[in-house]
Amino acid sequence: MNTQPSSSYVRYRAGKGGIGELVLGGASYGSRGRGARMTYTTAMSQFGPIMTAATEHGVCWLGIHASVARLEAELRGDYPAAELRSDDGAMGDLATRLMAWIGGDTKELFLPLDIRATPYQRAVWGELCAIPLGATRSYGEIARRLGRSSAARAVGHANGSNPVAIVIPCHRAIGSNGTLTGYRWGLEYKRRLLEHERAVAQVSRQLTLAGPRFT
């Protein structure tokens, strides 16, 4: 087990159109969360409860669902070998920053991550972060960008294994005919997230076109 992970993070910067930079090294824990101590909290967003879990090295899990009990069960199911504890106080600042970014109140986010990933998952998740805010790409298009045009199904599997929803925007991947498919947290959340991002992107474009105002 790698107990000293490389620097791993996702970064979103203002003026980049919502495109993120994803850098992933090793995780600090083993398979199924072996050797990890994870702290988690639940915060309310405009989409409902969002649960975030982190080790001392970075965020390792994020889920969105109307049922907090379902979120906790999913977290424990993903990391059955980890030591998990709820601590709203310790996670408060992180949750506040995440909710501001998810809600569109801030365009910048630097988030340390501590997640396990295969090389192919890293590649797919990097492509997800490269999709602009308010835009979508099909699984097939992502596969073509990775040089494997016939691997749409493999992209779908990697997409579905993303442990940090929204932050790594797997909701921006859609079917080849434009339909919303394959979202762990339900297609209604996927639809609402995309509608929100399109509205935020439209406002940003309008402000850019209007330019600065002088009085």
Active site residues: 170
3-state secondary structure of 94: helix
Read off the tokens for 206. Answer: 């309008």
Tokens of 64: 């969105």
Cα distances (Å, whole numbers) of residue 75 to 35, 65, 172, 200 = 16, 12, 22, 29
Question: Residues 114, 27: contact at Cβ < 8 Å?
Answer: yes
Strand residue runs (E) in the chain: 9-12, 20-23, 37-45, 48-54, 59-64, 83-86, 109-112, 137-138, 173-174
Spatial distance between the Cα atoms of 76 and 84, rounded to a whole number of angstroms: 8
Of 132, 139, 140, 138, nearest in space to 198 by CA: 132
- The values of phi and psi at residue 78, to 5°, are -75, -30
Name beta bridge partners: 110.
11
Beta-bridge partners for 48? 45
